[in-house]
Amino acid sequence: MKKRILLGIISGLIAGGGLAGCSEQNSTQKMAGAPSSSSSDSSTGVSAHWPQLTSGIARDPAVEARIDTLLAKMSIEEKVGQMIQVEIRSATPEDVKQYHIGSILNGGGSFPNNNKHASVAEWVALADAYYHASVDTSDGGVAIPMIWGTDAVHGHNNVIGATLFPHNIALGAAHNPELMRKIGAATAAEVRATGIDWVFAPTLAVVRDDRWGRTYESYSEDPELVRAYGGEMVGGMQGNPDAEDLLQAKHVIATAKHYLADGGTLNGIDRGDAVISEEELVRLHAQGYFSAIEAGVQTVMASFSSWNGEKMHGHKYLMTDVLKDRLGFDGFIVGDWAGHQFVNGCSNVSCPQSINAGLDMFMAPDPSWKELYKNTVAQAKSGEIPAERLDDAVRRILRVKIRAGLFEAGAPSERAFAADESLIGAPEHRAVARQAVRESLVLLKNNGNLLPLVRNQRVLVAGDGADNIGKQAGGWSITWQGTGNQNSDFPGATSVYGGIAEVVEAAGGTAELSVDGSFEQKPDVAIVVFGEDPYAEMQGDVSNLDYKGDADLALLQKLRAQDIPVVALFITGRPLWVNPEINASDAFVAIWQPGSEGAGVADVIFRNAEGEVNHDFKGKLTFSWPNDAQPTVRNPGENEALAQFNFGYGLTYGDTVEIAALSEQSGLKVSDSAEALAVFNGRALDPWSFQVMDTANNLSTISSSVAKLSGISVQSVDRKVQEDSRRLRWSGEGSAMVGLFANSRTDLTSYLGKQGALVFDVKVDAAPSAAVSLGMNCGTDCGAEQSITELLKGATPGEWKTVAVDLQCLAEAGAKLDMVLSPFYVRTAGALDMTVHNIHIASKAESGVDADIHCG
Ligand code: BGC
Ligand code: BGC
């Protein structure tokens, strides 16, 4: 846990970037994306690029009057409590009562009693426990029902037996906005059955760089489609703004997330920085919010990411001036998983900046929330958080709660549909999911019109995705990353193989499941199901677009070599370069991550019992498919020539298109160079820059020769020539870090075979007073650290030494060497005075190393 938090902080540092053409000296990142006055509405300061919108749900004076009455009775403590959302693993019902907590959540893979197999009754019982605590006024105070938020991002995905819809990338391919309404409604009904009020969906990201690990949570790289879907999904979940049962009965509160431009970060880095103009921000990334607001979406989640170096969680212009004032959003903004801590000057337990910028509810999932509560109360009392801002935040939260009827609804178990197990994985919901599967499949190749297949034949079903529901469900499926599940964790679901077996066997054929493709009797046709294993945020980022599936390719080729026609079904969360796999198959279908209803695949690829086309392919790409594996962005209007299959591509049974052999040049440089790579040689080399996280959690990019920050200073000093080294001094007042960070990834794997190491010269002038770590980082929750405390303590003061740490050792400790963002940083909470010189990556044998940093 400790390591996780730490790496999170480091990622805040990376993602903040501070690199975007920032020429100011030692600039802390205050450079907002604020518009130039020339294009802005002079009365509000909001750029004219933004439309003026009205929420689909009208303001009701009676509701506002009721809020006035409540607010008048509430203490500051109660108000702050409403603004803090805690997680079920780190807050008890007793805590909710004592701190007047306004909301709870369960994170991905978080269940009642920590039981993955928790029953519907247990979910409802836990909701009841928190509810009763929230309205218990035995210690005084006002009774305000809590709301519970959950990630139901493709169905109620934390709950065993729930319908799991295809992930958003698949839904996009269906090009069917009305279907989104049905999916939203079905999801909401299943959520209601567990006593939960609120879902953290839909994701409205418009993903531009498919290396991002959350690409599959996006409907499209095209803003128009995201706009067409956003409002429908919100309408399905919340109900129609003018309907009686708006936000009630089988409906829930929806969340538009992650505001804003989560899908626009440079190099597709999770929690990274969208370095774009305001015009582009509006045209590409904001479109989904427009329809969501018009449909009356009641909550918006702030993004972890930044816009031009400024963190969204602290972005007053975009949260307050744009979203609330210009776009007319009158619900509340919730943070994302302690995301406030990355705002300049903030920490996990204190961030008035975020509230003052417009965040209304902190998502505070770890046990430190009590301290956050205490600090926020103090800041509200001192006026650091102005009373009007506090009241506005609470007003927004109460408005949503009143609109959702929570004050009248009683305990979760007493509400309509609560504990109705028949809704979880209900046949009518599964039917919608199966329809979504059918409509989302994209036929990339169908040479010789191999598809559709007749049922009555000998079918071999191979590949590790054939009978693997966890794999076909992807991330955010029961567990957070979607890993560690078995078919038995998905009761009621059907694998792709299961669906095939059903139709083939009913028609008198045979469907043999053979993961490795071996068989006793030669099949008439082979269907190979393979692709990406599940992943979610952070862990899903990749450095290029190569599909790393040598074993799958070999399997396809082996079957082909035996003259067996091959149908490839590719499970994936994003377009990847699969030209060799396409060449090795006769028909190739992108089936994305279909979820629990794998049978939808057989519906399309087989003829019906009469031998006619059963369901034709409807899916069309909403993401451009790459023609090589290079990490190049490909979108309509952006490198279109580098698409193998363009946006909108998708064959149908009426087409007779023969795909000739595709290029098998991946475009990736296979470098085995071990030539030294300089990171710092007097100046930080491209793409890196010196960055500091000081003891006050302020992030600064250092470009001047002297930078004195809180508890740490960086100074250019001479060793051999002027200013060829950096003196780093920590005062010991708190934890601070300095290192070389980039907004793009560097691949260091070519050094591995050559005894590659991170090598640098160091001179110690004052030995460390506490532990010191040397680290390499590859993103949030990605990296490795080694202790250098003893090495520094043992150094002769004033004497230079060349030290090295093996890349192999860093790789074994968790650094992904193909995606390095920071090759070098040093962190300590103690006092230390050291100077570094000549930081590089090189073969250790050739570096004249004086000391090794030992692994472990
Ligand atoms: C939670 C997820 C959350 C993630 C972020 C996980 O432990 O379960 O819901 O998104 O942490 O760090
Ligand atoms: C994710 C959100 C999610 C939240 C709660 C975060 O890490 O970015 O999408 O809603 O966790 O699980």
Residue 854 pLDDT = 79
Identify the pLDDT of residue 4: 39
Give catalytic residue positions.
336, 537
Q: Which residues line ligand 1 (CB under 6 A)?
A: 107-110, 337, 480
Report the Cα–Cα distance between both ends of the chain, in Å, rounded: 18
Q: Between vectors from CA 502 to CA 565 and to CA 587, what angle results, nearest 5°?
A: 25
Tally Cβ neighbours within 10 Å of residue 23: 7
How many CB atoms lie under 10 A from the CB of residue 488?
9
Pocket flag, ligand 2, residue 336 (CB < 6 Å):
yes
| Residues linked to residue 546 through DSSP beta bridges, in sequence order | 577
Q: Is the CB of 217 under 6 A from ligand 2?
A: no
The CATH number, out of the four listed (2.170.190.11, 2.60.120.430, 3.40.228.10, 1.10.3720.10), of the domain defined by the range 677-847 = 2.60.120.430
pLDDT of residue 418: 97
- Which pLDDT score is estimated for 673? 66
Q: Are 247 and 403 in contact (CB under 8 A)?
A: yes
Report which bound ligand comes closest to the CA of 151. 2
Q: What is the mean pLDDT of each run of 10 residues along the chain (856 residues)?
A: 41 41 33 42 84 97 98 98 98 98 98 97 98 95 97 98 98 98 98 98 98 98 98 98 96 98 98 98 98 98 98 98 98 98 97 98 98 98 98 98 98 97 98 99 98 98 98 98 97 98 98 98 98 96 95 98 98 98 98 98 97 98 98 96 98 97 93 82 93 96 93 95 95 97 93 92 98 96 95 96 95 96 98 97 87 81
Q: Is the CB of 537 under 6 A from ligand 2?
A: yes
The CATH number, out of the four listed (3.30.70.260, 3.40.30.10, 3.40.50.1700, 3.30.465.10), of the domain defined by the range 441-645: 3.40.50.1700
Which tokens belong to 377?
Answer: 């109360």
Instruction: Give the largest CA-CA distance in the chain.
Output: 87
Which SS3 state, helix, strand or coil, does residue 677 take?
Answer: strand
Ligand 2 neighbourhood includes 365 CB (under 6 angstroms): no
Q: State residue 844's pLDDT score.
A: 85
Nearest CA to ligand 2 atom 1: 336
Other Cβ atoms less than 10 A from the Cβ of 428: the count is: 11
Question: At which residue do the structure tokens 């000093």 appear?
Answer: 717
Residues 597 and 777: their CA atoms lie apart, in Å, by 38
Strands (E), 228-334: 255-259, 273-274, 299-302, 306-307, 310-311, 332-334
Residues 6+ apart with CB under 8 A from 42: none
- Contact (Cβ atoms closer than 8 angstroms) between residue 313 and residue 320: no
pLDDT score of 674: 67
Lookup: tokens for 16 = 């903040």
Percentages helix, strand, coil for the chain (3-state, rounded to 5) are 35, 20, 45
Q: Among 90, 312, 336, which residue has the most ligand 2 atoms within 8 Å of its CB, making it the best to mutate?
A: 336
Q: What is the pLDDT of residue 112?
A: 98
Each domain of the chain, given as residue ranges in start order, spans 19-32+57-66+73-423, 441-645, 677-847
C-alpha 108 to ligand 1 mean position (Å): 5
pLDDT at 16: 41
β-pair type (689-693, 699-701): antiparallel
Judged by DSSP in three states, 24 sits in coil
Can you say how many angstroms the Cα of residue 334 is from the centroid of all Cα atoms in its chain?
16
Q: DSSP code of 481?
A: S
Rounded to the nearest angstrom, the distance between the alpha carbon of 478 and the centre of ligand 1 is 12
Nearest CA to ligand 2 atom 8: 336
Q: What is the DSSP string of 330-354?
A: -SEEE--TTGGGGSTT-BTTB-HHH
CA 200 to ligand 1 center in whole angstroms? 13
Q: Helices H, strands E: what count in the chain?
A: 23, 33
* Distances, alpha carbon 113 to alpha carbons 122, 359, 522, 570, 642, in Å: 8, 30, 50, 37, 50
pLDDT of amino acid 671: 67
Ligand nearest, relative to CA of residue 259: 2
Can you identify the CATH homologous superfamily of domain 19-32+57-66+73-423?
A: Glycoside hydrolase, family 3, N-terminal domain (3.20.20.300)
Taking the whole predicted model, whether its pTM rises above 0.85 is answered as: yes
How many whole angstroms separate alpha carbon 539 and alpha carbon 535? 6
Contact 835, 750 (CB under 8 A): no
